[in-house]
Structure 1
Amino acid sequence: MHLARQSIFATNPTQLIDIRFEAEGRIFTCSTPSGFAIYETWPLKLLKKRELKNGTLNIVHPCQTSSILFLVGGGRSPHYPRNKVIIWDEAAGREAAELEFREPVLGLACRRGWLSVAFRSRVVLFKVSEKGVSRVIEYATWDNPRGLVAMASTPGSTLLAILGQHAGHVQLIHLSPCPPPPLSVTTSPTYREPRIPKPPQVSPKKAPPFIVAHKTALTTLSVTQSGRLLATTSSQGTLVRVWDATTGGLVKELRRGSDKAEIYGTAFRPDEQEICCWSDKGTVHIFSLGSGEGPSNRTSSFSPLSPFIKLPKYFASQWSYAHYRLPAASSHIMLSSSPKSRDESDAGEEEKCIVTWIEVPSETLDLPGIGKGKGKALESKPEYQLIALTYSGGWYRLALPSASAQSAQSDLKNQGASPRIPSSPLGRSSPVAISRPASVKGKEKEDEFDQDSHSERRCTLQEFRRFGRWDGWG
């Protein structure tokens, strides 16, 4: 008798209800059926954990450099009504305030001093202080089922971005400057001042009131911490457009792929030199925003002809210079499944994830000194990496391909040699090399990502953790 292969994973794995990064990406919160927890992003460390016995939360939003959390009930058995925002003081372990509305809350954005709450067709702005919470103003928006709203968070920044009143439009609002973090935070030994450009000096009279970003409805909206740049994607899911929030001009148009997709989110690197996006295709794409030094985005081989021949817009596109394909979520295999269905089920469904940037401390090299055994310390440039969290409980730390490795691989390719497929530093092949049937949802048309000739563009897996039902990420 022939038996199908059996999965060694639990048939009912723990699914995370909500995952959110703090504005600077230093911590993140996750909501599970048993409660919520707060973690340090990297090195991965549990900071706080709280169990809830009578319901679940749909949103657990951390407020930067503070003990304040914004909670919204959700799931099959909401712990709080969906039309309420609970301001939770984790340091005191109690509710600090409660905001009640006439409709379900769909999205939140916050920074020191301000909270914006998104609904289906409006955004309400609140001022948050030690004295309490006060309602300031309400803005009408286009249909917003995703609850899109974004807010710059670095000291001195002012930008609040919401949907406009027409499809594909973004309304730009400037608030009072964000104050610096409390002294107790800046003097903490674990606090590192982020390398973020200074916020632009914007005159409210000269600032553009809105940006016509796309012709169709927006699916993601994000801003840099300084508020200088803005990124948008539409329901088509093929392009990521980056805008200058001070002038309203288009900075970059970046192509994720050629087929339609649902883009889950975008994230700017803190120094605003790169941006990444991730979608239901299971791939994280990294694009360069800088000019001059650093990696360059890929372009079509026909692009050099554009000054002489009018080419379709597709051939002038800029494609990601690096990528990482998350392994598909494990799926249960039925004993009665046919060989064909087993092949399809082996691939599973693409992972839904959320991504942020981290700055890895620069390595220090000890060089031999001249006399008495003293040495010199030579510090390298800081390295930026990615942290990807999946809703099925995967924690990935990804390193970008180095410029030297890309140059060496390009030389080999020009000489006709086949470049070597990089392996994971953990001593096994990186999950990005996993093959998938063409029939599985998530197969991208940019098939060159799976070819050996482009292996130098793959990110490498530096560290992986799995979320457990009892111990969380360990």
Structure 2
Amino acid sequence: MAHSRLGLADGWGKIQNLRLNQDKSMLVSCQQSGLRIYNVDPIREQSHYKESEIGSVSTAELLYRTNLFAIVSGGPNPKYADNSVMVFDDRAGRPVLEITLPTPVLSVRMRMDKIIAVCRTSIHVFSFPTNPTKLFSIETRDNPQALCEVTPGKLCEKELLVFPGFKVGSIQLLDIHNITGVSCAPTCINAHRTELTCLGINQQGTMVATASTKGTLIRIWDTVKRVQLVELRRGADPARIYCINFSLSGEWLCCSSDKGTVHVFALQDYRLNKRSALATMGVPGAYAGSQWSLASFTVPQECACICSFGKDSTIQAVCMDASYHKYSFSPEGICNQIGYDVITELCQDCDWYTMRGEV
């Protein structure tokens, strides 16, 4: 998932972080009392680790729908050091790999052949899973939210790593495909005038979405031409954007914020997005010409939340209060609730191993 860091600072119960896998079909919930893995659509628990087994977990990353996932300990009862990435084999129910860094790890990203550890002022890329070796490290701007995304699609020639640039509001793009060292400098895009707060990347790595601390605008960038494709307006009031995600096809984009609203935008047919009434009156200016979401629905306000697209024009949101919301939406902007659950009350499903691949 593409999203800003959700953590203890958000103060929502025992859940410390939520993270979707690369194709948005699985969800990992990091808790003070352990870790849970869920299938997203339909929502059901697939694996459950108690605090006695894994300790409290601050962040985690699933590797697609395989039996491997990575964790970083954190919270009131950690089992491992906060500067270590522990890779677990869920079939064996135990860690199979440990990667130790010089400083605390804030987030982890995984691909089939690489594992990426994000620290506050550096990013470290390792080969994976056979004979893990550090490929390179890169220094970054102070990055307390651990903003970093990598192309999620499996078969992409361009494995794009996206992270904050040294200039306020900028992003850096680095192709890490077959890289054995920092052989080329990252490309820099000046995305915003204020600090970044959220990043998103599409499956192919051709589009990147950015949002800043102001939280009123989301900008979409072409990673090949390095130009802005469109500017989308979340709202007029400042907000903290928690999550930005593209649909698998790249046709839609969704975002969530502390205003308690999940927005849906069209990316292939911009005419579907709403326009300000000022635009119809011929009033000039960026605000009047803004593209607003074509559909939206509400979740608990000021509760950190991640969102993603599901099957058949559906969208899901999972909040730090453990609530799960599922809506259908139409190009005409009609949004209807079709599902609700509390994920901490779901029971474990014993068919987990029949649903996924293995590494």
Q: TM-score under structure 1 normalisation?
A: 0.66
Find the counterpart in structure 1 of residue 7 from structure 2: none
Number of residue pairs matched by the alignment = 333
User: How far is 1:290 from its partner?
Assistant: 1.3
Deviation at 1:305, TM superposition (A): 5.7
Q: 1:40 to 1:471 in 2, by over 3 A?
A: closer
Corresponding residue number in structure 2 for 1:212: 190
Give the one of 294, 315, 338 matched to 1:386. Answer: 315
Q: Distance in 2 between matches of 1:248 and 1:158?
A: 16
Where does 1:218-367 land on structure 2 (aligned, <5 Å)?
218-291=196-269, 296-304=272-280, 311-328=284-301, 350-359=302-311
Superposition pairs of residues 125-204 of structure 1, within 5 angstroms: 125-129=125-129, 131-154=130-153, 155-156=155-156, 157-176=158-177
- Code of the residue aligned with 1:467 in structure 2: it is I
Kindly provide the amino acid, as one letter, of the partner of residue 390 in structure 1. Answer: C
Structure with the greater alpha carbon radius of gyration: 1
Higher normalized strand content (fraction of residues):
2
Deviations 1:115-139 (A, max 9, x none): 221111111111113x221111111
Amino acid at match of 1:273: E
Q: Which residue of 2 aligns with 1:414?
A: none
- Check if 1:46 corresponds to 2:22: no
Distance, in Å, in 2 between the alignment partners of 1:124 and 1:88 is: 19
Q: Distance in 1 between matches of 2:124 and 2:111?
A: 15
Q: Is the 8 A contact 1:83 1:105 kept in 2?
A: yes
Q: State the one-letter code of the partner of 2:235.
A: G
Q: Distance in 1 between matches of 2:346 and 2:336?
A: 29
Residue 112 (structure 1) aligned with residue 93 (structure 2): no
Distance in 1, Cα, partners of 2:293 & 2:178: 34
Q: Give SS of 1:302's match.
A: helix
The separation in 2 between residues aligned to 1:84 and 1:43, in whole angstroms, is 33
Q: Is the 8 A contact 1:140 1:165 kept in 2?
A: no
Secondary structure of 1:53's aligned partner: helix
CA contact (8 A) 2:44 2:348 kept: no
**Cα distance per residue 1:117-169 (max 9 Å; x no partner):** 1111111111113x221111111211111001001122124211111121111
Q: Is the 8 A contact 1:15 1:393 kept in 2?
A: no
- Residue type of the alignment partner of 2:109: A
Residue deviations 1:181-228 (CA, integer Å, cap 9, x gap): xxxxxxxxxxxxxxxxxxxxxxx99x9812111111110111001101
Contact 1:169 1:214 in 2 (8 A): yes
For 2:264 and 2:345, the matched residues in 1 are separated by 32
Residue range with higher mean Cα deviation, 98-107 or 257-266? 98-107
CA separation of 1:390/1:460 partners in 2, compared to 1, >3 Å: closer, same or farther? Answer: same
Instruction: Please report the RMSD computed on the Cα atoms of aligned residues, expressed in angstroms.
Output: 2.4
Inter-CA distance 470–255: structure 2 relative to 1 (3 Å threshold): closer
**In the aligned structure 1, how far is the partner of 2:160 from the partner of 2:250?**
16
Shift in Å, 1:472? 7.3
SS of the equivalent of 1:75 reads strand
Q: Decide whether the 8 Å contact of 1:57 with 1:80 is kept in 2.
A: no
Q: 1:327 to 1:280 in 2, by over 3 A?
A: closer
Helix, strand or coil for the counterpart of 2:105? coil
Aligned-partner Cα distance in 1 for 2:134–2:60? 21
* Residue 469 to residue 39, structure 1, CA distance change in 2 (3 Å): closer
Residue pair 2:124, 2:137 contacting (<8 A) in 1 also = yes
What is the letter of the counterpart of residue 170 of structure 1? I
Render the CA deviation track for 1:332-359: whole Å, top value 9, x for unaligned. Answer: xxxxxxxxxxxxxxxxxx3221111112
How has the CA–CA distance of structure 1 residues 208 and 30 changed in structure 2, closer, same or farther, with 3 Å as cutoff? Answer: closer
1:453 is matched with none
Indicate the larger mover: 250-259 or 32-41.
32-41
**In the alignment, residue 384 of structure 1 is paired with which amino acid?**
S
Q: What residue ranges of structure 2 are gaps of 5+ in the alignment?
A: 1-11, 350-359
- Cα distance change on mapping 1:324 and 1:158 into 2, 3 Å: same
Q: Is residue 337 of structure 2 the alignment partner of residue 461 of structure 1?
A: yes
SS, match of residue 64 in structure 1: coil
Instruction: Give the match's secondary structure for 1:286.
Output: strand
Q: CA deviation at 1:40?
A: 1.0
Match of 2:75 in 1: 75
The secondary structure found in structure 2 opposite 1:74 is strand
- Structure 1 residue 304: Cα displacement: 4.5
Deviation at 1:34, TM superposition (A): 2.6
Q: Report the 3-state secondary structure (helix = DSSP H, G, I; strand = E; otherwise coil) of the residue aligned with 1:73.
A: strand
| Contact map agreement 2:45 2:347 (CA 8 A) in 1 | no
> Take 1:41 and 1:87, find their aligned partners in 2: how far apart are those partners?
22
Structure 2 equivalent of residue 199 of structure 1: none
Whole-Å separation in 1 of the counterparts to 2:316 and 2:278: 35
**Structure 1: distance between partners of 2:200 and 2:166:** 18
Alignment correspondent of 1:442: none
Q: Residue type of the partner of 2:202?
A: T
Distance 1:238 1:68, change over 3 A: same
Counterpart residue type for residue 277 of structure 1? C
Give the letter aligned to residue 253 of structure 1. Answer: E
Secondary structure at the aligned position of 1:303 is classed as helix
